[in-house]
Amino acid sequence: MADPQSISPSPVSSKWSADTDGDWVLGQNPSIRQIARNAQRAAIAGCTVLISGETGTGKELWGKLIHATGSRASKPFIPVNCAALTVTLAESQLFGHERGSFTGAVGRSEGVFRAADGGTVFLDEVGEMPLELQPKLLRVLQQREVTPVGSAHPQTVDVQVIAATNRDLEADVAEGRFREDLYYRLNMVELRVPPLRSRVEDIPEFIDFFSRRFAAQYQRPRWEPDPD
């Protein structure tokens, strides 16, 4: 496994070590190798990234890799489940609030974007974000600032936004469920992650890797399947 900080701009390995939690990506499929190259360029540039793919294809893993490989690696990586956001509370959750700005606001809150300042905000299931919130997210991306609930003064934030979706956002734009300007602002770099069934040639590498990993973890002999 290559250390993310040591990967040179080109060529790029398709195997990255993401972080100390043991997240990584395996595979020699050409599409995965291309995704790795594009992800590395996005990490170096620090631009907004849209990661699309089916559930279970490792979209958050790619987000962590981009964060860990870029200049923001020492700063926070904060994931947000957009499907769980509600219009009434989401603005405070994302952008923070001032004390007394609404009933129950007994203290000041930074919100996700200010807490992640200097780092990365990972917007999971961004296609599920309520329409009412989408203009506010667009403003963050365009102006690089947030206005906490109860404040009249916007505050500058420096974050890289990485969004992920299992939806067809182009179709959602055409049907009016997702803002077109927000889609293009998010889609500065798009990584389309294929499911494993589209890269079956990588399965032996997965088997070998995980059999070694769990043999070491459980102190058991490594499982080696026969060709069949």
Instruction: Select, from the ranges 11-25, 86-100, 151-165, the one with the highest average predicted confidence (pLDDT).
Output: 151-165
pLDDT for position 153: 79
- Pairing, β 77-81 against β 120-124: parallel
CA 168 to chain centre: 17
**pLDDT value, residue 105:** 52
Share of the chain above pLDDT 70, in %: 81
Provide the whole-model pTM: 0.81
Paired tokens of 189: 């770099």
Does position 108 have pLDDT exceeding 90, yes or no? no
Helix (H) or strand (E) holding 80: strand 77-81
Closest CA to 62 of 21, 122, 6: 122
State the DSSP code for 135. H
Q: How confident is the model at residue 213 (pLDDT cuts 50, 70, 90)?
A: very high
Quote the CA–CA distance of 228 and 225 in Å, as a whole number: 8
Average pLDDT over residues 128-133: 90
| DSSP reduced 3-state for 15 | coil
Neighbouring CB atoms inside 10 A of 86's CB total 10
pLDDT tens-place string over residues 46-89: 999 999 999 999 999 999 999 999 999 999 999 999 988 877 77
Task: State the pLDDT at residue 101.
Answer: 55
pLDDT of residue 107: 55
